[in-house]
Amino acid sequence: MKNSVFTSAFLKQKNRLLAILPLMALLSTANLSADQGFREQIISSIDTFFADEAASLETSDQGQLTYKVRGLDPRLRLQTCQAEPMVETLNDNWLRKRAHVRVTCPAPNWSLIVGIELALYRDIIVTRTPIGRNELLESNVEFASRDILGINTGYIDSMESIAGKVTKRPLVMGQIINPHLIKAEVLVPRNALVEVSAQIGGILVTSQGIALENGAFGEYIRVRNKRSKRVIEARVVEANRVEVVL
């Protein structure tokens, strides 16, 4: 008798559970859809924001911007926003490898910070072939697209900036050129015999001197006049030639 009563109660409970399972599944699907909806809204708003920023950067020749969301917690649950969420940077200095944006929904009222990984691709100068120490750069380099936000040592993006420059040390093929790797070519070596010129009353006067230090184009160096032994300052104008500016 007791077994019969227990079996009957168990069957009733089982039937109740079977009856509510479809409802539970429906509620679970609805919650999942709502969750996916709010996430899609956030991603869409961030897409729109960075599309505008990328267009602005490309128009001003600053490079091509790409991004990847890296800080949207998968456990996060928020109600779907009734309007397009607003996206803004946390400060003016946002253009860096790892940045953050604030996404705000006016109704229902919620706000969250989302981590972003950025890349800004720009054509910069890299070595086309291996280059030895003290070699001229112009004929051994080329432009290549690189993510400048990931470069911590600096870069150069114009050929004018490397004109007359040589390497401080050997460089490998594909190496990014930065200001710390190059120096001006020495046109006047220390102790070299140089021609010294000066304009005096419209007359060009030349003499010879000994360079007391190395000099690159445009640099002022000390030169000792070979005849008078007087030390003067003169500007390097070409190989083994300097001029006195009066």
- Say how far apart CA 244 and CA 197 lie, in whole Å: 6
pLDDT at 31 (0 to 100): 45
Distance CA 20, CA 105 (A): 35
CA dihedral 209→212→218→219, nearest 10 degrees, is -150
Residues 166-208: tens digit of each pLDDT = 999 999 999 999 999 999 889 999 999 999 999 888 889 999 9
What residues have CB less than 8 Å from 22, skipping those under 6 apart? Answer: none
Determine what percent of the chain is predicted with pLDDT higher than 90: 68
Determine the pLDDT at residue 27: 38
Average pLDDT of the chain, as a whole number: 86
Q: What is the pLDDT of residues 22-74, one digit of tens each?
A: 434 333 444 444 456 788 999 999 999 999 999 999 999 999 999 999 878 88
